[in-house]
Structure 1
Amino acid sequence: MKAVTWRSHRTLEVAEVPAPRIEAPTDVVIRVTATAVCGSDLHLYELLGAFIEPGDILGHEPMGIVTEVGSAVTRLSVGDRVVIPFPIACGACAMCLRGLHTQCETTQNRDHGMGASLFGYTSLYGSVPGGQAEFLRVPLADTTSIRIDGSLPDERYLFLSDIIPTAWQAVEYAAVEPGQTVIVLGLGPVGQLAARIARLRGARVLAIDPVADRRAMAERHGIDVFDRDRLDAVWEATGSRGADAVIDAVGTEASGNPFVKAAQVVTARLPTAIAKPVLEATGVDRLAAVHAAIDLVRRGGTVSLVGVYVGDADVLPLKTMFDKQLTLRMGQCNVQRWIDELMPIVEDPADPLGLDDLITHRGTLEDAPRLYELFQKKEDGCIKVVLYPQPSEAVA
């Protein structure tokens, strides 16, 4: 089968690889009908090569049709249409029962001190083949799948795999209430959806991004938008008190701090044997967005971190955070926890989240190298990419 594989820093290859098969009774195999490129995939493309092997299959936002079913699977049958959440979880351990599927005790990567295994996301998270491929093996499929009974197009359901629940959790963690003011930092796909969800919940939403195309998309959905160099205007828009909550949807590659950026670039190009211990012990993030969130939230407010951070040697302004009595919440999204709340919103004919206005670029698997580069460079208005392993299944 064809799959999008990582080869080296900023280099991908669409390669022929062995098709997956049932390896455990709890597995299913799906034929992938649509699969998206996530902002966190760009961290693999740019920074985290030390934890990937050449030939690893990328992608963690797929959906498709079940083609094979393991003998212990009880909730799925051949022919079922499914979305695949990015965390691989058992649904029965103490963490899953608490709704913390990304901490699943069955798939935790204890050798690395990390949480549940994830599709297509490095040796830190299990080296599980990803979903940017023609077929995908889904472990623990009764929990690691969302059966779709509705008849809407794939593009309405696909983002239940990651970015809709991720944005929803970010707003939940921000404790957003009607009438509050919320600031969203970063208007990539998750930031776009977090802003729309917060507005749907009755909040006034201010959003900051340096890219005009991203600001224009958010503005179409009733969001007040600001360029990154207008933080003073954002502060004034909160009555010079700060927002009730700030959602950081940027993450480790935030613009700012050229010295940290240079260190990240150099580390990404080091041989794996050298880069891996450096990243594990002394990795640092570009924290411009985190510092902006701490500055822009009001005293007693909440900062919700949804952008991916990977540093273990980051320095935070604890004095300021303590003095302002801030609440800080963060973490990988527990996708399965939110699906019952989200499915009616996704299937609402009124499209309250504006899902029909999110995808900017579509292509086949063969287009992946070019579209990754566009997405990483934020060129040609690229905000969200969807790939179709079978071009005939693409939505025009």
Structure 2
Amino acid sequence: MKAVTWHGKHDVRTETVEDPKILDPNDVLLKVTSTAICGSDLHLYAGSIPEMRSGDVLGHEFMGEVVETGANVSRIKKGQRVVVPFCIACGECYFCKHDQTSLCDNTNPDAHKVEELYGYSGSGLFGYSHLFGGYAGGQAEYVRVPHADVGCYVIPNGIPDEQVLFLTDIFPTGYQAADQCDLKGGETVAIWGAGPVGLFAALSCKLLGAGRVVVIDRIPFRLEMAREKVGVETLHLDKDDIYERLREITDGRGPDCCIDAVGLDAHGTSLHEMYDKVKRAVGLETDDGTALRQAINCCRKGGVVSVPGVYGGVVDKYPIGAQFGKALRMIGGQTHVHRYLDRLFDHVQNGVDASFPITHRASLDEASDLYETFRTKEDECVKVVMRP
């Protein structure tokens, strides 16, 4: 079969690889009908995530048709269309039973590697290195899905792929970011990053009752999408004094909630950003904390800072004094996708357009060029969907 494979920094290729097989009686095989390139995939593309091996199949946002089922699979049937959460859950451990599926105890065979870094490991992830299980991803014609009765969500016929594909990751990721803000209605939320997760976080804040949503970015076409497709206010990171503008918007109090949808690969030219760049270049820091620092600084006293942006290691000059002094509640983490699927599916059925971020549609053969287009944000690229 054809699949998109990793071969090093800025080197992905569409190659012929061995077809997946049923390895466990709880597996199913999917014929992939739609798959996407995620912002998290760019961390792999940039070489920022360790334990990648040449030939690894990429992709954790995918859906398809079940073509084979293992002997123990009872809920999922051959021929059904399903979406698959990017985090792999067993359904039986303490964390799965407490609706925290991205923290599953039983699906990462490489857990000991993560424990050395974090103390404990979360779940296995599709297409995301041998830190998280080495599972083949879904940027391919076929993919094996373990724990299928837990991990496959059946989609009724008649709903197009593009309306449900992002329920695998970025829609629930944005929704969890908003949900973590504990919105009661009428709050002002500031969101750093107008990429796909930031856009879905903005949409989700509106769905959950926020009174005012402000999205911050430096790329004009992404800010335009936030205004036109999501209907929120925007600020330009380089042209606006973000702290002062947010003070003005909130009558001097600051946003009730701040969402960092940027993560470890923030970019900029301020003194702090240059400091981060130097520290990372010499191996004294792994992640750029620019967006996170600004979110903490701008958030009102007693507010919430929600972090869906991916961080992998350590951030220098973390403003713990501001967090403590303002009594901020910090919360983040990998998305518990399974927790949100039912309610997000209801939103889609009730008319929410979940396809709005898509700007590029292509085949697997075009993956190499589109990874680079997505990285450089050329051709006003926001989101890439591929059809095997």
Query: What TM-score does the superposition give when structure 1 sets the normalisation length?
Result: 0.91
Structure 1 segment 168-183 matched on structure 2, within 5 A: 168-183=175-190
Identical residues among aligned pairs (%)? 43
Tell me if 1:10 matches 2:10.
Answer: yes
SS of residue in 2 equivalent to 1:36:
strand
AA aligned to 1:245 is C
SS in 2 for 1:42: helix
Which stretch shifts more, 23-32 or 200-209? 200-209
CA 1:173/1:163 → structure 2, altered by over 3 Å: closer, same or farther? same
* Distance (Å, rounded) in 2 between the aligned partners of 1:313 and 1:242: 24
Say yes or no: does 1:364 pair with 2:363.
yes
Conservation of the 8 A alpha-carbon contact between 2:276 and 2:289: no
1:86 is displaced (CA, Å) by: 0.4
Q: Does 1:199 align with 2:200?
A: no
- 1:43 and 1:84 map into 2 onto residues whose CA distance is 21
- 2:52 and 2:201 map into 1 onto residues whose CA distance is 29
Q: Which amino acid aligns with 1:254?
A: A
**Counterpart in 2 of 1:305?**
307
Aligned-pair distance for 1:263?
A: 5.2
Structure 1 runs (4+) deviating above 4 angstroms are none
Which residue of 1 is the match for residue 231 of structure 2?
222
Q: State the number of aligned residues.
A: 372
Q: Distance in 1 between the 2:183 and 2:221 partners? A: 26
1:290 to 270, 289, 292: 292
| Partners of 1:111 and 1:313 in 2: CA distance | 23
Deviation, structure 1 residue 343? 1.0
1:210 aligns with: 218
Distance 1:198 1:43, change over 3 A: same
Aligned twin of 2:196: 189
1:167 aligns with 2:168: no
CA contact (8 A) 1:8 1:49 kept: no
Q: Is the 8 A contact 1:283 1:310 kept in 2?
A: no
Alpha-carbon deviations, 1:134-175, whole Å to 9, x = none? 000001111111111242110001011001111111111111
Q: Is the 8 A contact 1:9 1:49 kept in 2?
A: no
| Match runs of 1:295-374 below 5 Å | 295-312=297-314, 314-348=316-350, 350-351=351-352, 354-374=353-373
Which runs of 5 or more structure 2 residues have no equivalent in the other structure? 116-120
Shift of 1:177: 2.4
- 2:256 counterpart residue number: 244
Whole-angstrom CA distance in 2 between matches of 1:355 and 1:110: 33
Name the counterpart of 1:260: 276
Distance 1:197 1:207 in 2: 13
Give 3-state SS (helix, strand or coil) of 1:329's partner.
strand
SS in 1 for 2:55: coil
For the aligned residue pairs, the C-alpha RMSD in angstroms reads 1.4
Q: Is this contact kept in 2: 1:62–1:83, CA < 8 A?
A: yes
> Could you tell me whether the CA contact under 8 Å between 1:226 and 1:234 is conserved in 2?
no
TM-score normalised to structure 2 length: 0.93
For residues 50 and 284 of structure 1, the distance between their equivalents in structure 2, rounded to whole angstroms, comes to: 11
Preserved CA contact (<8 Å) 2:8 2:47: no
CA contact (8 A) 1:176 1:182 kept: no
Name the counterpart of 1:392.
none
The reply on whether 1:19 has 2:35 as its aligned counterpart is: no
What amino acid sits opposite 2:67 in the alignment? T
> Counterpart amino acid of 1:39?
G
